[in-house]
Chains A and B, each alone.
Chain A
Amino acid sequence: MARRRLAAFLVALGSAAGAAALWRRRSAKGKEHVDVYFADGSMVTFGEGSDEAARLLPIARRLLTTTR
């Protein structure tokens, strides 16, 4: 009985973790960001609210507007 309860608890825990990861991934997808890649293979992400994003995103928006 205790084993069955433990298994049910672990399944519920795993499902909750999976759902949380999926939700986090989906909500991050629509957010504004800039990913910058360098020659040495390094990459940096500037998210909403950062100084770099505030500098780069208006240029990107202007470029997008030009193409549409």
Chain B
Amino acid sequence: MDAAQALADLVEISAQIETAVLAEANGTVLASTLADEERAQAVARDAVELLQAAAGAAGEPVQLEAAVPEGSVFVVRDDERLVAAVTGRDPTAGLVLYDLKTCLRLAGENAKPAKKTASRAKKKNEEEAADGAA
């Protein structure tokens, strides 16, 4: 499943999520529900900043919820990607976080088989080269 499909599924599943952006760990946008690319980039940048600002003695955070009267911001990350989402006021935080983690997992599933295929192809080429040399 690619990033855009994972994000589309997320928004379809979670009625509480108004906007979501999927990005690489450095903030490069992979997919967004926002039509405006610049706004999506700004959301990803702020999400990275939130995670960095929340890091402390306990280490790097893996997820956070920031709630203000206008709504809530959720950010969930894994080693390679992060997903940021905006909801209305008083969301069911546990459900939103669960859906965001599922989105990250689905987006990651696309990248892993591609790596495997690449390493298998490389191994096959090396074997063929060795056979040719023998």
Within 8 A of A (CB), among B48-76: 49-50, 53-54, 56, 58-71, 73
Within 8 A of A (CB), among B8-62: 18-19, 34, 39, 42-43, 46-47, 49-50, 53-54, 56, 58-62
Question: Is the pair B54, A56 in contact by a Cβ cutoff of 8 Å?
Answer: yes
A-B contact count (CB 8 A): 88
Contacts of A37 in B (CB 8 A): 61-64, 97
Q: Is B90 an interface residue (CB 8 A)?
A: yes
Taken together as a complex, chains A and B put the C-alpha atoms of A32 and B66 apart, in Å, by 8
Can you name 13 extra interface pairs (CB under 8 A) apart from A56-B53, A63-B46? A29-B90, A30-B89, A34-B64, A36-B63, A37-B61, A40-B59, A56-B50, A56-B66, A57-B68, A62-B46, A64-B71, A67-B18, A67-B43
